[in-house]
Structures are given as structure tokens and as C-alpha cells.
Amino acid sequence: MQTVRNAVEFWNRVLTELATPFRLGSVTYRAGALPVDQLKVLSEKVLSRTGSPDLPANIDQLPGDLILAPSNGDFISFAARWPSDQKALIGIRGFGLYPMTLPNVARNVVAHEIGHAIGLSHNSDPTTLMCGRPAPCRPNAFSSPVEEFFPLTIEEKAALLRMYPVGWKGY
């Protein structure tokens, strides 16, 4: 899926510009690896902010540290992290559903959720990639006639350097 590849390339470009050694690896696809109903439940759990859900066994068994699950489901896209297990899951709302159908939105939603998976939080600036709850930023704000990724803040770039400093060797 080109949208996912573009978002991974965006993050690897940002990380290169920051001179951190952290990079996202290659993207592999496995259709239907996670049921939509499971993604909906996880979305609700993550968005309720009642704590991180337990790492489901079927996700733990999937290869890779970052599992990105595009779906045809009607739920709010989310990222869940299990740092102690070195695993993160990104569930993406159906690309055929509003607001994912607006120009430029899907690419920024995927990049936004990858930002969470690598450790960034929301901010309240609607002109930036990581804007989100509780601020009134919503995915339709990413709509643009030009294909672009919204920028990161200076604070977010500094946070990435703290998490993945020069000389970082991985977990």
C-alpha cells in the first residue's frame, strides 16, 4: 500500500534529518491479519484513556515491532504501544470512509499514528502532524489539494532526539 510506504519514507527522512540512527524498517503486507472487530475494541480502549490494553496474543505473534493494520472498519484510527514487549500496533480506519476519502488525509493519518507508535504525543497546533485529542484537531484538518505531510514541532523533534539520541543502538 503506497500510503503506508509514503508515511514510512516521511518518518525515515525526518529521522535522517535529525541525525538519529533510529529508522523504520521495511514494510511487509499480510492481508486480513487482524479482525476489524478486534481493531474496533482496541480503538475504544486506547481512546478511553483507561490504560493501555493488554498485548493480545495474536498481535504478539505477528512478526515485526510495528504492526500497521489498515482496515475497512469504521473506528477511530489509533496506536497502542507495549514498550516492554517492543511492540506497537496501529489500527487505521477504512480508507473508503470519511474523512479518509478527503485529499491528503489518509497519508497524514497514517503518519500521525506512526508518530504515536514511535513515542510522540498529541499537541494542540492544527497546522502540525501530531495535533489531536483533547485539542479540537481532527483528521479532516489534514485535507489539502496538495499531497504533503504536515510538519512536526520543534519540541517534537527534540523529543525524538531524546528518545533516539545519536549513538542509539536499539532496544
pLDDT tens digit string along 2-34?
999 999 999 999 999 999 999 998 887 777 789
What pLDDT digit, counting tens, does each position of 79-98 carry? 999 988 889 999 999 999 99
**The three grid cell numbers given for residue 26, joined into one nine-digit string:** 521495511
Look over the chain and give the mean of its residue pLDDT values, rounded to a whole number.
91
Q: What is the dihedral of CA 93, 63, 6, 80, to 10 degrees?
A: 40
Angle at 29 between CA 66 and CA 59, to 5 degrees: 45
Reported as half-sphere exposure (CB side, CA atoms, 13 A), residue 117 has a value of 27
- The reply to whether the predicted model has a pTM over 0.95 is no
pLDDT of 171: 59
Q: Are residues 6 and 107 in contact, defined by beta-carbon separation less than 8 angstroms?
A: yes
Q: Are residues 129 and 150 in contact, defined by beta-carbon separation less than 8 angstroms?
A: yes
Residue-level length of the chain? 171
pLDDT of 51: 67
- Fold for the domain defined by 2-163: Collagenase (Catalytic Domain) (3.40.390)
pLDDT of 15: 97
Q: Are residues 87 and 55 in contact, defined by beta-carbon separation less than 8 angstroms?
A: yes
